[in-house]
A = this chain, B = another copy of it.
């Protein structure tokens, strides 16, 4: 009978049963113990190795549970068949380089910038410290899948006061970013819909809709935004719009067009409007226009907003306000999906809202951005002969439409040669339009006034 002879070391930290286990496992893997070979009984093994029977038994148990040996009732233990193919490989410690985008540029006029010099670090630290102070285990239990009631209530109040959004905390769903909320929404709506997008549009949402396998259709815009007459001409049943500040053109949709849009939605069951109010916080002229959702009497508007732009991109916190028919579907079928935002983060932002920090922060940022906005417009004066500014007075970017015969590519390339990154409107178009006037976007959120002056000066040179 096969005898297992191994050198057990009692001085080693590894327990005996594990040494036995490893030895046998290795012999089976290496083939020294052939597949199907009978192993000694635990009693025999224990006697032979001078270990307790339970030690031998524990080793066999481990081998059994890993399938290296098999137990045949009344006959004993046998080496199992292990395909060489599947032996555990050592991990390859292959490193990966993280690509360095735009490192080459001196100035980047990204339209998606957020200034973080204004971020209230101290307040944030204080709030998170306070919240982590009380050891309430509640804080670390799983919570309401929509987000905590208190936080949803705070968001609800903020949205009513600041945006004229009309809802109860029950309609608010908190999520880790707008992308996630869109994914959740697609579960609620189902993907058997056709979504109309403004053209040009916010490509992130457009790409997401396609990744979620929605049919999509671009709808052209006039100076008031998405043309509802054309929308009616499509078989789209969902319209994705950014009325408070169309991205990227900056058009503010006037009330009349908003009402037309709501009318369109009301004309058929199952039609909905997704209102992405992504940067409505920043408006430098007049009063902000109430959200489309506030005028919706037929439960047609799905309202999306985020703290990622108004506080910081790394704060993964967005909110969605569902009309009641969709809320019911969510409650019945999708409420089991767990929340994506930690309670700690929810409570920090709740306090941030309720204690007035958010309002102060917004005022500060508004002032900061307005100065950069004004500085940029001022610094662009020398270009007034060859281009027209539009989409200004709101958000964190504006646009320049050119009439100097240069193509968008040329304009972007010339700027690049001087170390300045600007963005072509074509990148935001769904349908390429060769006849379209060359237009570039200039985002000013990430540039100090001095930098804006310097950069604009250079642009004036290379474009003039």
A: residues with CB less than 8 A from B are 18, 21, 58, 61-62, 64-68, 70, 80-83, 85-89, 91-96, 98, 114, 116-117, 119, 121, 124-125, 128-129, 132-133, 135, 137, 139-144, 149, 156, 160, 164, 166-170, 175-180, 183-184, 187, 190-191, 204, 207-208, 211-213, 252, 254-259, 262, 285-287, 289-290, 294-297, 308, 312-316, 333-334, 336-345
Contact = CB atoms under 8 A, between A and B. Distances in A.
Contacts of A178: 338
A88 B294 contact: yes
Given A82-B259, A88-B294, A142-B314, 10 more contacts: A64-B254, A66-B289, A89-B294, A92-B166, A94-B168, A119-B140, A125-B132, A140-B315, A142-B313, A211-B337
13 contacts: A21-B287, A58-B286, A65-B289, A86-B262, A124-B132, A128-B128, A183-B184, A190-B213, A204-B338, A314-B343, A314-B344, A316-B341, A345-B345
A139 B337 contact: no
Contact of A342 (B296, B315, B333): B315
Contacts of A338: 177-179, 204, 316
A332 B333 CA distance: 32
Q: Which 6 A-B pairs have the closest CB atoms?
A: A67-B255, A142-B313, A176-B340, A140-B312, A67-B254, A116-B137
A38 B140 CA distance: 62
B314 A80 contact: no
A187 B160 contact: no
Contact of A135 (B121, B213, B257, B334): B121
Contacts of A290: 88
Contacts of A85: 297
A83 B166 contact: no
Contact of A183 (B91, B137, B183, B190): B183
Contacts of A70: 256
Contacts of A339: 177, 316
A340 B177 contact: yes
A158 to B, nearest CB: 11
A83 B132 CA distance: 50
A359 B81 CA distance: 34
A194 to B, nearest CB: 17
A119 to B, nearest CB: 6
Contact of A140 (B96, B142, B252, B313): B313
Contacts of A252: 65
Nearest to A137: B116
A255 B169 CA distance: 50
Which of A86, A314, A336 has the most C-beta atoms of chain B within 10 angstroms of its own C-beta?
Answer: A314
Nearest to A263: B83
Contact of A170 (B96, B143, B184): B96
Which of A81, A144, A166 has the most C-beta atoms of chain B within 10 angstroms of its own C-beta?
Answer: A166
